Amino acid sequence: MLLKKTRSYLDLWNPQQVDTYPMGQALLAWKNSLNTSTDALNSWNPFDSSPCKWFGVHCNSNGNIIEIKLKGVDLQGLLPSNFQPLNSLKSLILSSANLTGGIPKAFGDYLELTLIDLSDNSLSGEIPEEICRLRRLQTLSLNANFLEGAIPSDIGNLSSLVYLTLFDNQLSGEIPKSIGALRRLQIFRAGGNKNVKGELPREIGNCTKLVVLGLAETSISGSLPSSIGMLRRIQTIAIYATLLSGAIPEAIGDCSELQNLYLYQNSISGPIPRRIGELKKLQSLLLWQNSMVGAIPDELGSCTEITVIDLSENLLTGSIPRSFGNLLKLEELQLSVNQLSGTLPVEITNCTALTHLEVDNNGISGEIPAGIGNLKSLTLFFAWQNNMTGNIPESLSECENLQALDLSYNSLFGSIPKQIFGLQNLTKLLILRNELSGFIPPDIGNCTSLYRLRLNGNRLGGTIPSEIEKLKSLNFIDLSNNLLVGGIPPSVSGCESLEFLDLHSNGITGSVPDTLPKSLQYVDVSDNRLTGPLTHSIGSLIELTKLNLARNQLSGVIPAEILGCSKLQLLNLGDNGFSGEIPKELGQIPSLEISLNLSCNQFSGKIPSQFSDLSKLGVLDISHNKLEGSIDVLANLQNLIFLNVSYNHFSGALPNTPFFRKLPLSDLASNQGLYISGGVSAPADDLGPGAHTRSAMRLLVSVLLSAGVVLLLLTIYALVRGRIGNHGLMEDDTWEMSLYQKLEFSVNDIVKNLTSSNVIGTGSSGVVYRVDLPNGKMIAVKKMWSSEESDAFNSEIRTLGSIRHRNIVRLLGWCSNKNSKLLFYDYLPNGSLSSILHGAGKGGAEWEARYDVLLDPTLPDGANLVQWVREHLASKKDPVDILDSKLRGRTDPTMHEMLQTLAVSFLCISTRADDRPMMKDVVAMLKEIRHVETARPEPGLSKGVNLTAAPPSPPARILVSQGSSNCSFAFSDDSI
């Protein structure tokens, strides 16, 4: 068919234009190699006299093809390698064309090309060196593909090159020094290539016409060369999220055309260069998340064109320069998380274009400038976690565009200006943990956009204004730890979007309102003076997950309608005057899994049999009541980590389960008829509280000192062994190697990289190195400390070789000889698990990420750790068997604490997301795990021994922390 079309093409070709025949033939041959289904190339007809009218084909006056432009056409095929007949082709644009495969070496034959645009395809392979023969090439756009390998070393031969874009590929290696030969280069962008490494060559300074330099999100290291100052025409330098270190050279001041300097998320140290003030055209300065020190230079105030300054998350000291008052075009000033001191300069109020002012997490003192109302465009003002004092200025109400205001954790005093509540755009108002007094004005009803209100931890008095009902968008309100009085206004039911209500630790009186917003998920009104019964309407709160009414004066019975709160996870009614029987409906709430506290009330009767269904419950406190009967109903509560039934009238044998056998006596005390069946117990610890504390402190100090010495010795040992060991690695060339993945390298490629400079971590069994393979791929290599550690070596191969889990590093293979044993892993550049879980900064992991790290580990031979432990517990086996054998034999209180912690962990790995507690709930449960001095009957005592080890004492408030008593489970989280 192709032959027939070619002949027809030849028969109809105009003899006067016969020279165009090979061009048309080449185009048709390429078309026929494509898998395209688009109609775009239908005009490429072999019966046409000339290809010059074909779609995407452009010719000059002589009929020669000079441009092929098929941008955005779904071609589905390979690049052409047969375009040599198109000897006048100057422009080849095939971007976004769904092309695959490599770039043909034949591209080096298209010598007239001035423009190549192959961006946004799926091209792979390396950039061919042959392309560097195109001396007339001005534009080379290869970005957004899957190209690999290094940037060609002869790139400097493209002497006419103006635009070079290689970003968002998989390139590796260093930037060739020959780049300095590109004297006409204006745009160089190679960011988004994680494996491009090495220092930025000083020869880059020879590209004196450079306008844009982009190397963001690469592994470029070292410091910026001082030759950067030779780039007098440079407008944008974007080298963020790399491995840059060292100081910014003062020569940056010579880049007189510079508008945008993006060097954030690096390891840059040293001070901000003073000569930066010479950059009169500078518009954006982003240096956040580095390690820069010293003061912010006053000279920065000379950059009068600047609109954005972000210096947050550094180690800057000194005060905010008053010269910033000259920056009349400044829109965003972000100085958070530094060590700045002094005051917020009054001159900052001259920056009338400011929309974002963030100075939180510093040591700024003094008052908020009274003229801050001049900032009419301000939408966000964060000054929390400082040492600011004085009153909140009324002029803040003049910032009519203000949407978020956070002045928390300062020492502000006086009242909240009522004018602030007239800000119609304000969505977040956070002034917690200050020394504010006065009242919450009724004007709060005017702040109709308010979504989040936190005024907790102040000295606010008066009542909660009824005008709060006008806040239809309000989602979160925390007024806890104040001096509020009066009742909870019934009008709060008008806050139809309210999910979080925290009023604990005030002086609120009256009863719980009959109507509360049905959207509520969290309610804490504990530690107030509420009276009366709990209303039947409580059952209408179908979204409620946590309800804390502890330490009030509530009375009556718990209404059966509480069963309507089907999502309830935590219920604390402790320290009240509730009476009657515990309603069976509490045992029918399937989601009740965090805590149920009914302590210090007047409940009577038996524990409802339905309590046996609370299989997920972690904390149960029913102490200090008048309950009676057996506690056998609690025997099947497998998830309990804390149980207190003391000071009741329970009787009968204690359930014979591991949990009850290890329950501290203090949690069972003063139940005259309760006894231990069989008398199996542990002797009491004869150490008093003081002696135990001193012993523990001595042990803790000893452990810390020992750990410090061991860590220091291990570090020295790792470096010494690394140097000595590497000399002997190749003494025996007989290596045994096994690879689980397709990798191309030799043992010598590995060994030569096992140097101290490549160490990325040490452990108990070996030292880990980062190794660059010849193909640009990076792997991690673990060298065992000793060649005799064959057990650890084989165990790691056996275990990790069979595990496939997204959160466990992949074992790629291993090799060994008589001197050394090496393990190969995927290299993960984000640091250790510890740094992810506990690291600071903008990259810190959230709870979802922490949970994903731990969920569902699968062991060799198909065994599932979580399932194994569940089955172990379900079969009534001793929970101690789950712990490491090295931990067994500890004192009874210690074992009890470990088992309680284990129980908390199993709440966190429930297979149903709704059943898993939030992190703050886990913290609340862990706070209940405390060291207790366990008293048990002596061995040999049997049935009939009662558990009243001490004379009954009244249910007095035994203070623990923050006013919480031993018969109350306080649940409040100031960090929400």
Q: Are 276 and 305 in contact (CB under 8 A)?
A: no
**Residue 521 Cα distances to 454, 502, 509, 745, angstroms:** 17, 11, 22, 57
What's at 126, amino acid-wise?
A: E
Dist. CA 210–CA 179, nearest whole Å: 11
Which residues are 500's β-sheet partners?
Answer: 476, 522
* Model confidence band, residue 693 (pLDDT cutoffs 50, 70, 90): very low
Residues in the chain: 976
- pLDDT at residue 716 in the model: 53
* CA pair distance 858, 590, nearest whole angstrom: 29
343 sits in the region (left: phi over 0; alpha: psi -120 to 50; else beta) called: beta
For 900-932, the pLDDT digits (tens) are 677 677 667 666 666 667 776 676 667 666 544
Q: Would you place residue 137 in the very low, low, confident or very high pLDDT band (cuts 50, 70, 90)?
A: very high
Q: How far apart are CA 652 and CA 644, in angstroms?
A: 16
> Which of 194-203, 608-617, 624-633, 656-665 comes out lowest in average pLDDT?
656-665
Question: Which residues lie below 8 Å from residue 284, measured CB to CB, with a gap of 6+?
Answer: 259, 260, 261, 262, 306, 307, 308
Helix (H) or strand (E) holding 329: none
Q: Report which listed range, 29-38, 49-58, 295-304, 830-839, is most confident.
A: 295-304
Contact 155, 178 (CB under 8 A): yes
pLDDT of 901 reads 75
Taking only the tens place, the pLDDT of each residue in 375-412 is: 999 999 999 999 999 999 999 999 999 999 999 999 99
Query: Which string of b and e fits 712-722 if b means at least 16 CB within 10 Å?
Result: eeeeeebeebb
320/329 Cα distance (integer angstroms): 17
The Cβ of residue 211 has, within 10 Å, a number of other Cβ atoms equal to 18
Q: What does the block give as tokens for 374?
A: 């001049």
Note the pLDDT of residue 437. 95
SS3 of 18, please?
Answer: helix
604: three-class secondary structure by DSSP: strand
- What was the pLDDT predicted at 326? 96
pLDDT, tens digit, 9 for 90 and up, residues 708-760: 555 655 555 555 454 444 444 444 457 788 776 667 778 888 888 887 667 77
Burial of 460 (0-12, 13-18, 19+ CB in 10 A): buried
Pairing assessment for the beta strands 91-93 and 115-117 based on DSSP bridges: parallel
DSSP for 148-172, written as a single string: BSBPPTTGGG-TT--EEE--SS--E
What is the average pLDDT across 862-886?
62
Alpha-carbon span 146 to 158, nearest angstrom: 22
CA of 21: how far to CAs of 17, 26, 80, 133, 321, in Å? Answer: 8, 9, 17, 27, 72
Say if residue 334's pLDDT is above 60: yes
Give the integer Cα–Cα distance in Å for 945 and 194: 71
Q: Cβ distance 457 to 478 under 8 Å?
A: no
Query: Is 85 strand, coil or helix?
Result: coil
Report residue 923 as tokens: 């913290």
Which among 600, 546, 482, 444 is positioned nearest to 925, based on CA atoms?
Answer: 546
Residue percentage of the chain with pLDDT more than 70: 75
pLDDT tens digits for range 574-605? 999 999 999 999 999 989 999 999 999 999 99
Listed in order, strand segments (DSSP E) in 817-958 are 821-826
pTM above 0.85, yes or no: no
pLDDT for position 950: 36
- Which tokens hold the place of 787? 């060649």
Q: Mean pLDDT for the chain?
A: 83
**Poorest-pLDDT segment among 13-27, 34-48, 198-212, 817-831:** 13-27
Query: Region 186-202: what's the mean pLDDT?
Result: 97
Task: Tell me the pLDDT band of 885, cut-offs 50, 70 and 90.
Answer: low
Q: How confident is the model at residue 889 (pLDDT cuts 50, 70, 90)?
A: low
Q: Any known ligand binding at 783?
A: yes
Cα dihedral 566/572/573/574 (nearest 10): 160
Quote the tokens at residue 178. Answer: 């020959």
In eight-state DSSP terms, residue 458 is S
Looking at the DSSP assignment, which residues form a beta bridge with residue 653?
A: 675
pLDDT at 416 (0 to 100): 96
Q: Are strands 315-317 and 293-295 parallel, antiparallel or unpaired?
A: parallel
Integer Cα distance of 908 and 926 in angstroms:
12
Instruction: Provide the residue type at 849 as one letter.
Output: A
Stretch among 485-489, 646-650, 710-714, 952-956 having the lowest mean pLDDT: 952-956
Q: How open is the CA angle 275-276-281, to the nearest 5 degrees?
A: 125
Q: What is the pLDDT of residue 37?
A: 84
Is residue 964 within 8 Å of residue 526, measured between CB atoms?
no
Number of neighbours of residue 727 by Cβ within 10 angstroms? 8
Classify residue 944 as exposed, middle or buried by CB count within 10 Å of its CB (0-12, 13-18, 19+).
exposed
pLDDT per residue as tens digits for the range 241-273? 999 999 999 999 999 999 999 999 999 999 999
Q: What is the mean pLDDT of residues 655-668?
A: 89
Give the tens place of pLDDT for each residue, 543-577: 999 999 999 999 999 999 999 999 999 999 999 99
* Distance in angstroms (rounded) separating the CA atoms of residues 470 and 494: 7
pLDDT value at 643 more than 50:
yes
pLDDT digits (tens, 9 = 90+) for 431-459: 999 999 999 999 999 999 999 999 999 99
Task: Return the percentage of the chain with pLDDT > 90, whole number.
Answer: 63
* Measured CA distances, 893 to 37, 512, 635, 954 (Å): 74, 40, 21, 25
